[in-house]
Structure formats: structure tokens, C-alpha cells
């Protein structure tokens, strides 16, 4: 008889179905966590030994062709209301919930705030690590707290919003807490009234074009989905990991100089400096639509690298390095990867 508290530990597993870049990387060891009992078993038995990676939808990472470690895929499911006032609800979702269906579910329940984050591939657990953002919104703005289990201690841990240290595509889970815990669920604090966030100009423009003055949350969700898939490769057609690099932040004086040299440069004030559109920088270096080997630059959005079919990890690294070198040489700006490399 199968004991459902014991997860299957598989060996030599192709990761192709488990990460959106879709390379044929093979992991030494692969474990799927479907329940809290599975995670408890892994931790109590000290099975999470380095190197290991906790995987959600695999939408923001690539792997060495042979990953000599353990991949733990979080597939726990469940969404529940854990608090309520007239204005807000607290909604807890298990780490393995698929992000886009979670957002859709919330809108269906009349819980608002996440509409602009429609159609982002990945899971709820990863949304807190990466502080996913798009179309004028970031997940962290709506996160009330994050629950996790310490890998060494096996203890339940909770991080308040402030303790998560959310920043642009960043959180405490990428720094001091990296590799020390497994996120089990995220509690979102959502509004009971829909307040449209139309700060992103392409979104506001599309609504105007369609004659929608006061969108419903579902209309915003649908339009964001459409804008997104108009620019990004559809995962079922092309492997990719969304934006491959972060948009770099430069000092005000560097930006002024760049504006003199390149009047068309895309950038906006961010903290003490300016955030530049990495896609624009990459495009100016002539990379849009080009390939190196079987790894290419998406022709509608130069910030996205795509698997043109049979792409290897080395080809990804070579293309990423060539882009970084060209942008550095031309603009004096060092691009940082947004995508995580598991080597
Ligand atoms: N641009 C170009 N050429 C390109 C791509 C972009 O000139 O090839 C210019 C655009 O014309 C625009 C500016 O760059 O003026 C910004 O482009 P876009 O609106 O497409 O957004 P982005 O800054 O390239 C960011 C996020 C995306 C998110 C979009 C929409 C990062 C690293 N990326 O991209 O997030 O969907 O904004 O909000 O911040 C992801 O993280 O995986 C992701 C897709």
C-alpha cells in the first residue's frame, strides 16, 4: 500500500516539463511535494541537502544540462479566506497554487488588487520570492505575510510584510533566507472594492481605445492578458523565462549623459536615480530578433530570450553574456540577470 505521507524520490528526471525555458536539462533527483506531510517528511529526514532548488512553475530559472542536485517541486494546493473586514480580505494560498488561476479566482470572489498581474506564469510561492511585478503593480504591495518551514529546524516561520523586505524583483527570500526555508503559503490582503490601477500607459491607452472608462476588474485582467501575450512568447509555442534581465537603475548624472548621447532612451525616475528599459538598450545593440545557436532574442521584446528548439544551457549563457558585454560597451550599464541559474 502507498503511504501518501512519503513523497516519491525520482532519479535522472528530465526537467523539460517543469520549467518554461523548456531545455532538456536532467536533474539527479526530483521530488514533488503535494502535501504538507510530504514536506514534513523531507525536512525530518534531512533530505533537502545542498545543492537543491525549490521549484514553483519554473518560469524564472534555467538549469545546467545536468543538474547535479535535487529539484523539489512545490505542488501543494488550496485557497482559503483567513480574515475579513468591510474593506479587506486576507486570503491564504498554498505555495503550489498556479498564480494566474489564483488571480482569476480572487477576482471571481470579489477580492481585488492582483488584476494587473494577470497571466504571469508561475506559482503563489514564487510570487513572494520574486515580488513579481507588471503593468504598474507588484505582488509585494498586497502580501500580508508569508508562511514557511525552516529547513534545519523544521519549525514553522512567519514573515510579516515588512520582514519580507520587498523591492524591485527582490525579497528577503533571495538573500538572508535563501536556501534556509521552504515557503508553504502566502497571505494576500486584498480589497473588497475594485480600485483600478491604470498607471501603466499601455494599459490606460488600450482601455481608452476600447472606450472603457471604468473597467471592471475582469476587464482589466483580460486586457492585461491580451497586452502581455501580444508582446511575450506564448509558453506553449516558445520556451522562455519572461524578462531575462532586470531593468537597470543608473545615477541621475549617468542618465543625463545617456540622454545627451541617445535622446530616444527609455527611462524614468526611480529612487535617487533612473530606471532604464533594458529591452531598449538590448534592441539598440542590434540584438532584437537575433540568435546565437539555438537561443534567440524575442523579436517583439528584446528583454526576453527564447529557446528556438533544442537550446542548451551553454547557448543560453553565451547569448546572455554577449548581450551583457554589448550593452556594457555601448552604454556603460551592466545588466543583471533576472533569471536564476541552477548550475
Ligand atoms: N522596449 C524597447 N525594445 C524592446 C523592448 C522594450 O524599446 O525590445 C521599450 C518599450 O518601448 C518601452 C520600454 O522599453 O518604452 C518598456 O518596455 P515594456 O513595457 O515591454 O516593459 P519592460 O520594462 O521591458 C517590464 C517587466 C515585465 C513586465 C513589463 C510590463 C522587468 C525586468 N520586466 O518589462 O516583467 O511584464 O514591464 O509591466 O521589470 C518579467 O519580469 O518576466 C516580465 C515579463
84-124: pLDDT as tens digits: 999 999 999 999 999 999 999 999 999 999 999 999 999 99
- Out of 303, 337, 338, mutate this one to test ligand 1's pocket (max ligand atoms within 8 Å of CB): namely 303
* 223 CB near ligand 1 (under 6 Å): no
Q: What is the pLDDT of residues 184-211, one digit of tens each?
A: 999 999 999 999 999 999 999 999 999 9
C-beta of 280 in contact with ligand 1 (< 6 A): yes
Banded model confidence at residue 2, pLDDT cuts 50, 70, 90: low
pLDDT beyond 80 at 1: no
Which residue, by CA, sits nearest to atom 4 of ligand 1? Answer: 279
Report residue 82 as a C-alpha cell: 483567513
CA 167, CA 131: separation in Å to the nearest integer?
7
Instruction: Give pLDDT tens digits for 166-182.
Output: 999 999 999 999 999 99
Best residue for ligand 1 mutational test, from 118, 130, 206, 243 (most atoms within 8 Å of Cβ): 243
Separation of 304 CA from ligand 1 center, angstroms? 9
- Regarding the beta carbon of 300 and ligand 1, being less than 6 Å apart is answered no
Residue pLDDT, tens place only, 127-167? 999 999 999 999 999 999 999 999 999 999 999 999 999 99
Residue 6 confidence (pLDDT) above 70: yes
> DSSP of 70-93, one letter per residue?
EEEEE----EEEEEE-SSEEEEEE
Instruction: Name the grid cell of 198.
Output: 491604470
pTM, 2 dp = 0.95
Q: Is 242 in the pocket of ligand 1 (CB under 6 A)?
A: yes
Angle, helices 99-109 vs 217-231, to 10°: value is: 160
How many CB atoms are located within 10 Å of the residue 127 CB? 32
d(CA 250, CA 64): 31
CA 63 – ligand 1 centroid, Å: 24
Determine the atom of ligand 1 nearest the C-alpha atom of 245: 32
Task: Tell me which residues are annotated as active site.
Answer: 169, 243, 338
Sign of the alpha-carbon dihedral angle for 297, 310, 244, 207? positive
137 Cβ inside 6 Å of ligand 1: no
**CB of 167 closer than 8 Å to CB of 128:** no
Question: In ligand 1, which atom is closest to the CA atom of 59?
Answer: 42
Quick check: CB of 276 below 6 Å from ligand 1? no
DSSP secondary structure letters along 284-305: HTT-TT-EETTEEE-TT-TTEE
- Dist. CA 235–CA 339, nearest whole Å: 16
Q: What is the pLDDT of residues 234-255, one digit of tens each?
A: 988 999 999 999 999 999 999 9
The per-residue pLDDT for range 206-244, each reduced to its tens digit, is: 999 999 999 999 999 999 999 999 999 998 899 999 999
* Cβ-count burial 249-267 (b if 16+ within 10 Å, e if not): bbeeebbeebeeeeeebeb
Adjacent-strand bridge partners of 267: 276
User: Mean pLDDT over all residues of the chain?
Assistant: 96
Beta-carbon contacts of 152 under 8 Å, excluding residues fewer than 6 positions away, are 180
Query: Could you tell me the distance, in angstroms and rounded to a whole number, from the CA of residue 332 to the centre of ligand 1?
Result: 20
**Look-up of cell digits 475579513:** 84
pLDDT at site 227: 95
Q: Where are the beta strands (DSSP E) in 192-303?
A: 239-243, 249-250, 267-270, 273-276, 291-292, 295-297
CB 287 near ligand 1, within 6 Å: no
- Is residue 303 within 6 Å of ligand 1 at its C-beta? yes
User: Is the Cβ atom of 311 under 6 angstroms away from ligand 1?
Assistant: no
Distance from residue 84's CA to the centre of ligand 1 (Å): 35
What does the DSSP 8-state code read for residue 17? G
Over residues 316-322, mean pLDDT? 98
**Ligand 1 centre from 303 Cα, in Å?**
7
Tens-place pLDDT, residues 9-32: 999 999 999 999 999 999 999 999
Distance 117 CA to ligand 1 centre (A): 14
Amino acid at each position: 500500500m502507498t503511504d501518501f505521507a512519503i513523497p516519491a524520490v525520482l532519479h535522472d528526471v528530465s526537467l523539460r516539463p517543469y520549467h518554461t525555458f523548456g531545455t532538456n536539462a536532467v536533474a539527479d533527483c526530483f521530488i514533488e511535494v503535494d502535501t504538507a506531510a510530504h514536506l514534513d517528511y523531507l525536512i525530518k529526514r534531512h533530505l533537502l541537502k545542498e545543492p537543491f532548488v525549490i521549484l514553483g512553475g519554473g518560469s524564472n530559472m534555467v538549469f545546467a544540462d545536468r543538474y547535479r542536485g535535487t529539484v523539489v517541486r512545490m505542488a501543494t494546493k488550496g485557497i482559503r479566506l483567513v480574515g475579513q473586514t468591510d474593506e479587506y480580505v486576507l486570503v491564504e494560498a498554498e505555495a503550489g497554487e498556479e498564480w494566474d488561476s489564483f488571480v482569476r479566482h480572487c477576482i471571481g470572489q470579489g477580492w481585488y488588487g492582483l488584476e494587473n498581474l494577470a497571466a504571469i506564469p508561475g506559482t503563489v510561492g514564487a510570487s513572494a520570492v520574486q515580488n513579481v511585478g507588471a503593468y504598474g503593480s507588484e505582488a509585494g504591495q498586497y502580501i500580508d505575510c508569508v508562511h514557511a518551514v525552516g529547513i534545519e529546524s523544521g519549525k514553522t516561520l512567519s514573515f510579516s510584510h515588512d520582514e519580507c523586505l520587498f523591492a524591485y524583483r527582490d525579497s528577503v527570500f533571495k538573500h538572508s533566507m535563501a536556501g534556509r526555508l521552504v515557503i508553504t503559503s502566502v497571505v494576500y490582503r486584498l480589497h473588497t472594492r475594485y480600485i483600478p490601477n491604470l498607471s501603466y500607459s499601455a494599459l490606460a491607452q488600450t482601455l481608452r481605445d476600447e472606450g472603457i472608462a471604468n473597467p471592471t476588474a475582469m476587464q482589466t485582467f483580460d486586457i492585461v492578458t491580451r497586452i502581455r501575450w501580444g508582446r511575450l512568447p506564448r509558453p506553449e509555442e516558445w520556451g522562455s523565462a519572461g524578462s531575462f534581465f532586470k531593468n537597470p537603475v543608473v545615477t541621475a548624472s549617468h542618465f543625463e549623459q545617456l540622454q545627451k548621447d541617445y535622446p530616444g532612451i527609455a527611462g524614468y525616475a526611480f529612487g535617487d536615480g533612473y530606471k532604464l528599459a533594458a529591452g531598449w538598450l538590448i534592441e539598440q545593440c542590434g540584438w532584437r530578433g537575433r540568435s546565437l545557436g539555438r537561443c534567440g532574442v524575442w523579436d517583439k521584446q528584446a528583454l526576453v530570450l527564447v529557446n528556438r528548439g533544442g537550446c542548451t544551457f551553454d547557448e543560453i549563457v553565451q547569448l546572455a553574456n554577449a548581450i551583457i558585454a554589448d550593452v556594457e560597451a555601448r552604454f556603460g550599464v551592466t545588466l543583471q540577470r533576472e533569471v536564476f541559474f541552477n548550475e
